[in-house]
Structure 1
Amino acid sequence: MLPRIDPEGARTVDVQGIGATAARYARAARYTVESGTYKDTARRLGRRVSSTHHAYGLKRDLSAAHETPVAKIPISVRPLVEADLPHILDEHAEVDEAERWERHTRVRLLERGIGRPWVAVDPDDDPCYVQWLFGPDENAEVREFFHGIFPELGPEEALLEGAFTPTRHQGRRIMSAGMSMIAEKARDLGARDVLTFVGVENIASLKGCERAGFLPALDRWETRRLGHLSVRFRPLGPAEVENARVLKV
């Protein structure tokens, strides 16, 4: 089952919140000064002023047969614990600006206290991948934190977002294996379908999602003009699904 969308097949959400936008910019400015991520912040703020972003909403049907992909190292998944934070979400680690910002956004999500964060760990219990699961009971919180870029979840749906693999663990196919295992945990939320969203230009992540059992199901267009965000969702037809796949069968 797909997220609820109007009968014409598309849904547009206008997100205003001028005060909230100002607060986000102020928070970003403080973090930029503290972390020195000037270039990355300037690039992101430029997109906030005027940009159009196209992403696919991918869906995994948990009732469909699926074989968990194998990473290049043995991994297992478990809930994130406080002791993991210095190993995977340390904002002051010696990493480049882009990764430091990625860590910062996940720390903000952790501080907000929504969703259920899971980590994939290696045989030494070192966390090498993190991602959050959200259920329909958190629709309001997800809408507020992510500014309306995800559709409302139905009673048998879950959202899997916030994926992050530190650079030192990349290139080991940990994402697809970890994501596949974490998606299974959505059964505990009563979910039959799990959704995630990836930019159409992010071929590596799209491949990882397909290996994890997720197939394109929705188009999402985000349009930003002078701080005003409009989000449009549209379900993909069968031919469009096949065209959107990056792992051809």
Structure 2
Amino acid sequence: MLLPETRRSISHVVDLLAEVKMMAAMEHPHIVEFIGVAWDSLTNMCVVSEFMAGGDLKALLSDYEEQNHPMGFNRGKLKIALHIAHALTYMHSLDPPIIHRDLKSKNVLLNEKLDAKLTDFGTSRERVNESMTGGVGTCLWMAPEVMIGDRYDDKADMFSFGVVLSELDTHLSPYWHVKDPNDSSRQMPEPAILQMVATGKLHVKFSKETIKAVVELGNACVSLDPTTRPTASDALYKLHTILANESEKDGFVK
């Protein structure tokens, strides 16, 4: 939807229309369904999409934290991760591939059964060249190459996916464990965090309760070198394997 302060901006109207075009072209069970567009003028439009009764993943994890829900992965959390990986695999397999560029827990919506679907394609772009430049997305989920304005591709989404895996594990915001060196009661300022992430000196943290294979996948996703990160299909296969193995030995947290 165009906010009142942006309705007279042609660039914002064009951006919304681009998002509409992209949403209308995608059809997948783990991407929020596009219903249509409502408007009474060219500058007063809104996108209509399916209603997701479970809210967003960020809110769910905040509830888990307040309720002292156990850290680590249970079947429900792993299912959410699987659904995100399914959506990314679909997007990255299109011709040309589509890069979300703003994957974070707030942009993962849930239904009443906690089935997950990706939303908010306002910063997504078709990968028409070998790689792109231009920093987009929300900083704490952003890949280092995007932060510094370097060339990037669909592996930028995989970095963000690794950050989301850490959120699913701990229920906390990325880099929650990093404290201000001058005041240990406060979190390190975001610019300092981003500088450390961009240079590979800081990574997201997983809890000791987390399944080892999930930690390995998450750490691979947030590798400083994009070429060493798994593809979405690699991550999807790995998650299916983890689910099968842990179900067999009942290795999930309760």
TM-score by length of 1: 0.26
Higher helix content, 1 or 2: 2
Structure of higher RCO (CA pairs closer than 8 Å, 6+ residues apart): 1
Higher strand content, 1 or 2: 1
TM-score by length of 2: 0.25
